[in-house]
Amino acid sequence: MNLKKILKKSNICIDLKSTDKKSVISEMLDIIISNGIVKDPEGALKALYEREEKMSTGMEMGIAIPHARTDAVSELQIAVGISRKGVDFEALDGEPSRIIIMTLSPTARSGPHIQFIAAISNILSDFNKREGLIKAATVEEALKILI
């Protein structure tokens, strides 16, 4: 998957303001709404919350990947957020999540979502890239790390 085609400066927030999981999910959905086509914002938010209730999307190494499949979108939508202080996403390692990658994908298509997660996971497996993202002073700097 070509991340240069998917990730744009407008998809990235290097200073999330929210301090709890639900608020971060809502703040990041606002990024997607402002940059993509979301037919049903309330339905998208409900799908994200429901997915999070089933099992936390907090991973390890300070990463969370809230995601949902929903008919509120017709193609993969993405937002990347950095929380300087970290947010409790009930991560597997108990650490706060500082890098949050949100995806919304249509219910009928899982391929692009899986390809994106594989590509972004490959990047985020690198300690230096994770640290670079957390310390990025500008959106352009963060984007350069991701692509």
Amino acid 8: pLDDT: 87
The mean pLDDT value for 62-88 works out to: 92
Q: State how far the Cα of 40 lies from the Cα of 94, in Å rounded to an integer.
A: 33
**From the candidates 67, 98, 113, 130, which is the catalytic residue?**
67
The mean pLDDT value for 2-19 works out to: 88
Q: Does domain 3-146 have CATH number 3.30.1540.20?
A: no
Q: What is the pLDDT of residues 23-33, one digit of tens each?
A: 999 999 999 99
Residue at 22: amino acid letter = K
Q: State how far the Cα of 69 lies from the Cα of 44, in Å rounded to an integer.
A: 8
pTM greater than 0.85 (yes/no): yes
Active site residue 67: yes
* Domain-wise residue ranges, the chain: 3-146
